[in-house]
């Protein structure tokens, strides 16, 4: 039996949720989320999490599996997704992965995390040096450890520089060596046929939907949700606190953004995110068909597995 994973992606607000539900209902499939924020319990409005009624239509996996302050990264995601997908396939039901988180999506097609274990003391030391001396000091040390150069590393991105230095220090190897080793790793789902399609919309239509989504979130109580999440430790989770919708609302709550500008700020940052997502899907994922929203038929999303 061919082990097949169907993946439906698309940018924020394009309409993935309803199409995924319709496809899954028609096929008796189960949905595995590939959204980096739907893991967290209580983060509902700002993440556009499927409603209880929508979740009841089809079995869902990897939604509401973590407390807000629990760590989740792509390595943890792959482990949990593997367990869920293996169980679904064992029960001979179709699998539909859906979401727009690019780095997590890439895990279905290529290795996304190396095997270097970074000790806590190295991580803490590098973080302290970053805060004390700035990213330039970390870049200087990286250059010393990598006499052949830093390749395509974005030396202005503190997170990427920190990660690179941590791995060089932990492994005693150069970035070039680590990259070569990483490229040779098998993809986490290499034993499966992965079929991908992307839902798209014309930009004017998409912008209208973004504005409607933001208005709906605020009407549904986004500000109250963020106040509650702040009390639960939202700021201990930089990924969630920095997510669009949450970061602007935090700015409003803490007095850095007027209430009258909140909706426009969320909508504008969502449009910036959409542009980045569309570029990621085009450059970082395998070639795949695009399905235009409105004309998408559930029986035409995926070709039969070869």
Q: State if pTM tops 0.75.
A: yes
Backbone angles phi, psi at 258, to 5 degrees: -65, 145
Could you report the per-residue pLDDT of 19-52, keeping only the tens digit for each? 999 999 999 999 999 999 999 999 999 999 999 9
Straight-line distance from the first to the last Cα atom of the chain, in angstroms, rounded to the nearest whole number? 11
For residues 265-289, give the mean pLDDT.
95
Closest Cα to residue 32, out of 109, 114, 93, 73? 93
- Residue 95's alpha-carbon distances to 5, 90, 118, 181, 196, in angstroms, are 5, 11, 34, 31, 12
β-bridge partners, 7: 97, 196
CA–CA dist 244, 15 (Å, integer): 18
The domains of the chain, with CATH numbers, are 4-112+187-300 (3.40.50.300), 120-183 (1.10.20.140)
Strand 193-200 relative to strand 4-9: parallel, antiparallel, unpaired? parallel
What pLDDT, on a 0 to 100 scale, did the predictor assign at position 141? Answer: 94
């Amino acid at each position: 039996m061919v082990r097949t994973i169907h993946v439906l992606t698309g940018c924020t607000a394009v309409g993935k949720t309803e199409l995924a539900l319709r496809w899954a209902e028609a096929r008796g499939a189960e949905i595995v989320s590939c959204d980096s924020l739907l893991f967290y319990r209580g983060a509902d409005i700002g993440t556009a999490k499927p409603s209880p009624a929508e979740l009841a239509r089809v079995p869902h996996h990897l939604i509401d599996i973590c407390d807000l302050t629990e760590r989740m990264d792509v390595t943890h995601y792959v482990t949990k997704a593997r367990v869920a997908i293996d169980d679904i396939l064992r029960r001979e039901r179709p699998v539909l992965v859906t979401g727009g988180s690019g780095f997590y999506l890439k895990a279905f097609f290529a290795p996304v995390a190396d095997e270097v274990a970074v000790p806590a003391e190295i991580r803490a030391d590098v973080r302290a040096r970053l805060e004390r001396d700035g990213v330039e000091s970390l870049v200087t040390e990286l250059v010393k450890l990598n006499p052949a150069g830093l390749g395509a590393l974005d030396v202005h991105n503190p997170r990427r520089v920190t990660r690179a230095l941590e791995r060089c220090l932990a492994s005693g190897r150069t970035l070039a060596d680590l990259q070569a080793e990483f490229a040779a790793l098998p993809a986490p789902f290499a034993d499966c046929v992965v079929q991908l399609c992307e839902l798209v919309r014309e930009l004017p239509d998409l912008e209208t939907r973004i504005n409607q989504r933001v208005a709906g979130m605020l009407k549904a109580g986004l500000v109250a949700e963020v106040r509650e999440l702040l009390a639960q430790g939202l700021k201990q989770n930089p990924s969630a606190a920095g997510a669009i919708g949450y970061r602007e609302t935090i700015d409003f709550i803490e007095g850095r953004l007027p209430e009258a500008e909140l909706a426009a700020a969320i909508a504008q940052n969502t449009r910036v995110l959409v542009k980045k997502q569309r570029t990621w899907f085009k450059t970082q994922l395998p070639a795949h068909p695009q399905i235009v929203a409105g004309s998408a038929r559930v029986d035409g999303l995926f070709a039969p597995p070869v």
